Structure 1
Amino acid sequence: MPDRPALSPERKHLQAGETLFRQDQPVRAVYPLRHGGIKRMYESALGWRQLTGFMLPGDVAGLEPNDAPQFGTSAIALQASECCVVPLETAKRCEEDPAVHAALLALLHRDALRQRELLVTIGSMKAAQRLAMLLLDQAAEHRRRGTDGGEVMLAMTRNDIASYLGLTLETVSRLLSRFASVGLITVRHRQLRIVDEKGLSDVHAEADRITLRGPDPA
């Protein structure tokens, strides 16, 4: 078995709103995220845009299924972020290591599952269920990285959340206030704390559960 090639030490720093790569650009590198957060944005031929996912430290931006030669989405920094730059040829050599190959397949598989869940959520769930799903997903991702799943720093804006879930900004703001008023979460700026994860899971399963916790102040 060949020795595992050393990864490129090059790092790239991004400011909030800066684009790492654009949709349809040739894939020449992949970008393991070290710090910060990235959102993925798809733009149709007709010009409408849909936010399709969020990436946290430990994720690899630019991994395309089936070795697609072009990026399927644009990657945009949610906040000040840092990633490594791994040239595509280096990444392909790394994949010769069974452990690396398995880890990359696991990342692609998890991403595919999250995309499928998003499609089901937008297609069949009510607004409260969609938001509960996102908060539970973010908590699970924080726990997977060894941090407190109950304490979630929302790098994304409410506009980002609205785009991702197929909701309006007004609906997202109203639901966050509603979740806080019935004791599911607390929100201070972008710092969100999940107070009652089981309650959020109940709302995810059945949107009407939230009405059992108290009247809507609106």
Structure 2
Amino acid sequence: MPTLHLGNHRCTVTNLINIDSVKLSCKNCSLSELCLPRSLSPEDLARFEEIVTQRPPIPKGGALYRSGEPSHALYAIKSGALKSIVTTEDGEEQIVGFHMPGELVGFDGVESVHNCTVVSLERSSVCELPLKDLEFLSQKISSLHREVCTVMRREISQEQSMLLLLARRTAESRLASFLVSLSRRLGSRGFSQTDFNLVMSRHDIANYLGLAAETVSRLISKFQEAGILSVNRRRVVIRDLDALNGKVGTCSSAKSA
């Protein structure tokens, strides 16, 4: 498993394009309270800004990085959304994660090489944090070290949650778990928990959950008929969050496909 060395500490997680970069101001970023700099003093924030660059916008379908490329940075998502993809032994693409504004991606390196491809679900912008610079700065700023380790622990937790999600026996509980998890993640980042856009397609959701796209569409319709959701194209309004939570552990007759 890859290890990020932060001074005398070690944090372990499982799991380029030559361009001109642009400097930016973290203190003026609308997501600064959700990102690594949130606990930094003004002086330390100025030092942190020196290592951060903003990548040019990634168009829908564009790759932030690809499997097999060197892993040299973490990326903070400013806007848009991304998905992580691995290729199975039989050549099929499997989605293993979705990433939202305020979250970090890039923890998937194995021996300094990415083991998945990260693709933009819509036009997205990210900030690049070079690992070598981040490691060096974390040795000097203890609060930054704590933030990095917190984010890495959250990454491990999300991977464990995915394993638990895929272990659920019914298609209904898988989809309910996915929507509840997405709601919580958006809420924790200051967005609405009950009114949001699904930037990922139903095909992508089905791929992630190990279901057929038709099954996902059928279950969304079922949740609408039960008054749990309202769906208009990609806009989702959760009408009854308690009922949706109740579906997470249900053992209904809905079967995965």
- Whether the 8 Å contact between 2:76 and 2:127 is mirrored in structure 1 is yes
Match of 1:182 among 226, 247, 252: 226
Residue 47, structure 1, aligned to residue 100, structure 2 = no
Q: Residue type of the partner of 1:82?
A: S
For the residue of structure 2 that corresponds to 1:12, the secondary structure is coil
Residue 82, structure 1, aligned to residue 121, structure 2 = no
- Whether the 8 Å contact between 1:43 and 1:50 is mirrored in structure 2 is yes
For the residue of structure 1 that corresponds to 2:90, the secondary structure is coil
Which portions of structure 1, spanning 4 or more consecutive aligned residues, are displaced by more than 4 angstroms? none
Q: Which runs of 5+ in 1 are unaligned?
A: 211-218
Percent identical among aligned pairs is: 27
- Whether the 8 Å contact between 2:108 and 2:116 is mirrored in structure 1 is no
For the residue of structure 2 that corresponds to 1:192, the secondary structure is strand
Q: When the two structures are superposed, what TM-score results if normalisation uses the length of structure 1? A: 0.88
- Whether the 8 Å contact between 1:37 and 1:78 is mirrored in structure 2 is yes
Q: Which runs of 5+ in 2 are unaligned?
A: 1-6, 8-42
Aligned counterparts of 2:242 and 2:229: Cα–Cα separation in 1: 11
Q: Residue type of the partner of 2:175?
A: L
Aligned counterparts of 1:203 and 1:26: Cα–Cα separation in 2: 41
Look up the match of 2:177: 133
Written as runs of structure 1 = structure 2, the 5 A alignment for 1:1-218 is: 4-5=47-48, 6-64=50-108, 68-96=111-139, 97-208=141-252
Report the number of matched residues. Answer: 209
Shift of the 120–9 alpha-carbon distance from structure 1 to 2, 3 Å rule, reads closer
Deviations 1:146-168 (A, max 9, x none): 12111121111101100110000
Which stretch has the larger CA shift, 83-92 or 173-182?
83-92
Shift of the 209–43 alpha-carbon distance from structure 1 to 2, 3 Å rule, reads closer
Aligned counterparts of 2:179 and 2:144: Cα–Cα separation in 1: 30
For the residue of structure 2 that corresponds to 1:76, the secondary structure is strand
